[in-house]
């Protein structure tokens, strides 16, 4: 049986997964760069590096993946997830977790 990319694509299997970004998505994502042309230029350079990693011979897919993983780890620091996780960390080390918070962390695979 031939492989069917439509049935094997994790994005298709998970409807909550992000889709390919269109122009409107990019516009929203880049709004914070308005008035910061140097930062926007740096991001443009980074996009070119990633594009080259996936288009050169031989492909440097792992380097592109590593770069994207680094970008997501850095972006995480600017999200509310970071704030919540940091708050839970402090509650844990100070012995102030509620039973519900402790169970949540355990259900997420945290061992303490």
Q: Which helix (H) or strand (E) segment is 30 a member of?
A: helix 23-30
**Which pTM was predicted?**
0.65
Rounded to whole angstroms, the Cα distance separating 48 from 18 reads 22
Instruction: Tell me the mean pLDDT per 10 residues along the chain, length 112.
Output: 49 66 89 95 95 91 94 92 91 94 92 83
Rounded to whole angstroms, the Cα distance separating 11 from 20 reads 9
- Phi, psi of 98, deg, nearest 5: -75, 165
């Amino acid at each position: 049986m031939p492989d069917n990319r439509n049935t094997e694509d994790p994005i298709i299997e998970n409807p909550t997964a992000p889709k390919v970004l269109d122009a409107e998505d990019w516009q929203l994502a880049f709004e914070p760069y308005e008035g910061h042309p140097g930062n926007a230029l740096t991001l443009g350079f980074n996009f070119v590096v990633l594009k080259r990693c996936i288009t050169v011979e031989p492909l440097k897919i792992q380097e592109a993946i590593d770069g994207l993983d680094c970008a997501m780890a850095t972006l995480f620091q600017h999200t509310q997830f970071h704030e919540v996780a940091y708050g839970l960390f402090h509650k844990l080390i100070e012995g102030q977790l509620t039973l519900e918070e402790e169970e949540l962390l355990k259900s997420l695979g945290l061992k303490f």
